[in-house]
Structure 1
């Protein structure tokens, strides 16, 4: 990364950073937002895009991406030392990373910057855990989250990985199936069944990379640059490695996943903006039957409908980022609703934009849309399936008995 680009973030976001004010403290619109987005985009272009195609071919997430983002101040700006995290900054990072068109890389960034860092920032109280967070901030360390297992999937209450108390700490044994970034991580945050403790229940324990052994590298349909691995776990850790004590593990994981789900929605916004931009430009440039394709009403109206829904989704992401976990603001259910809505839109939008290109859209060496369409399917699974998101939403649907009785009279 050249020195000019490295200074973009600092220059363009200097005012809110010096003031200790979150990005959206000056509002959801304005020059401050445009400058921040431009700065993030410049850094992503410089430090992420050069690795994208090779990472897809190799099937391995490049650590250099996270080191470059850290060197440009992007991660520290998201999680400033001694202050609350800036969800607005995180939302812009998600949107701009989605615009790269490589979901494996944008998801890998969010797993580090949103999921792992949010859990450590909220729950990491020991010197060891604060050191892990410092390493994430400055790009020295890569972390991952292990929750799902082969026998449970979305059912996190069925976790069988155990952390058993021993005289000088905890003995951790088990396996995690969908461990993204597992092969490049320096440590992992694992959801465990913490036996041998009076409180009982699930907790989260941090283990070093040496504790992880590859059982099988998973071959996925898309997001090839995001390595995902089935791993066995075996190690002994000290008491200072406990991130969330027994009984609070699911709460800690849900907190991290809520940030991840908002990030997924932001990535969808960026990805779909990119896909629609490509489709619209193609409609203007491609001539069929003696005229530009844009003059075909069926095609331009189809894209206009997608663009309209994307506008709503973009503002929803920004608004939720501005108030996430604030008193009376959006939380777990709202983030789940946004994530599932965005994920389903991503699959449709990338498919329709690919369709606009006709046969060329299906050729991976002529447009990026077939890859983007294939990658978009992960959003409906990773971070919680559609059904799990709807269950979270359904849990808050209590109805209003008084309104019902006043409006309905069944005989």
Structure 2
């Protein structure tokens, strides 16, 4: 387990790299709508990605939280999210389900920031229903032929490869089809349509067509286990998203606090108006609970994710809904200026944060995961409740 000083040094190193190497790329990335590969390359070259993944199968979860939080707190919007997507689910899948020279080589390049990967799971007709995947993977010679379309592929237009979820079939057993997760190079993908979104302009996202022949070694895990592999990878994305949303909330509160100190209305600083001061205090108090929960969960099991899929879903959906509230309230505290994009970052942050309630799993999918773990206490019910049949 890392010491407090080591984690403090890691945070300071991350903050410096993000400030000097990533934040300067953000304005142009937003304007062009293109994720800058140099951002992820900077994290890799600085050793931050490899340090985050040092240790057991789950790497160092606390460093994951620190990186995600600092990326969001920097104000780098879609660039910050793109770096997290390239670092969390991609590495998690390759580390646990790779295990051959081809995939191990790709993993090493990702850890150094020399390759950028993405996840291609959702489809035009499926959305969150990954069991409804129509992209196919058929045996061809000694490998696989992958064909289909994927929608909402973040980083797809700029990635070197995608981890593609596809239905597998063989001549001996054509049905029922099962799922596999395959590493497909960029040469086997084409952009059908760039997708313009409400927010996260710098997170290159597209509708992607796939037609690729890949070797047998491109399959992660075993045929039929693709959904298991993809779900495992998504848990890392979701937990990092919770940390990132905490960082975004912290940035919004810090900006609003500074504004309430600086802005004078009705003859006194806004901070002296109780209605504003106490609303901000309420948000800050709840953020304290969220941040301590995320860091506590990350520290709970060194080298592995501290929680199961249900608990991580609970963190993700709670953080997403809370961050949306925080950014909206803080934007309101700026008054009309909060809506002016050339005067404050709050309007962009408000657009960006809304995506969190869908990306990586919608609120409803997260709640269903949580609901699956609800446990009744029939003994207490029988002892304490007297409901007439």
Aligned CA distance change for structure 1 residues 84 and 297 (closer, same or farther; 3 Å): closer
Q: Tell me how far 1:46 sits from its aligned partner.
A: 1.2
Contact 2:56 2:304 in 1 (8 A): no
Q: Which runs of 5+ in 1 are unaligned?
A: 1-21
Quick one: distance in 1 between partners of 2:255 and 2:305? 39
The residue correspondences of 1:8-407 to structure 2 (distance < 5 A) are: 22-23=1-2, 26=3, 30-80=4-54, 84-196=58-170, 198=173, 200-323=177-300, 329-407=306-384
Aligned CA distance change for structure 1 residues 42 and 326 (closer, same or farther; 3 Å): closer
Any idea what SS the aligned residue of 2:69 has? helix
Quick one: distance in 1 between partners of 2:9 and 2:380? 47
Quick one: distance in 2 between partners of 1:34 and 1:82? 21
Any idea what SS the aligned residue of 1:382 has? coil
Any idea what SS the aligned residue of 1:365 has? coil
Quick one: distance in 2 between partners of 1:236 and 1:32? 45
User: Which residue of structure 2 lines up, in the alignment, with residue 8 of structure 1?
Assistant: none
Q: Tell me how far 1:107 sits from its aligned partner.
A: 1.0
Q: Tell me how far 1:138 sits from its aligned partner.
A: 1.1
Aligned CA distance change for structure 1 residues 151 and 399 (closer, same or farther; 3 Å): same
Q: Tell me how far 1:408 sits from its aligned partner.
A: 1.8
Structure with larger RCO (C-alpha < 8 A, sep 6+)? 2
Q: Which region of structure 1 is more displaced relative to structure 2, 129-138 or 190-199?
A: 190-199
Any idea what SS the aligned residue of 2:128 has? coil
Any idea what SS the aligned residue of 1:257 has? helix
Q: Which runs of 5+ in 2 are unaligned?
A: none
Quick one: distance in 2 between partners of 1:326 and 1:81? 6
Any idea what SS the aligned residue of 2:289 has? helix
- CA RMSD, 1 decimal: 1.7
Contact 2:298 2:305 in 1 (8 A): no
Quick one: distance in 1 between partners of 2:163 and 2:255? 39
Q: Which region of structure 1 is more displaced relative to structure 2, 82-91 or 370-379?
A: 82-91
Contact 1:205 1:244 in 2 (8 A): no
Q: Deviations over 1:92-120 (max 9, x none)?
A: 00000010123201110111110111110
Aligned CA distance change for structure 1 residues 35 and 195 (closer, same or farther; 3 Å): same
Q: Tell me how far 1:305 sits from its aligned partner.
A: 0.4
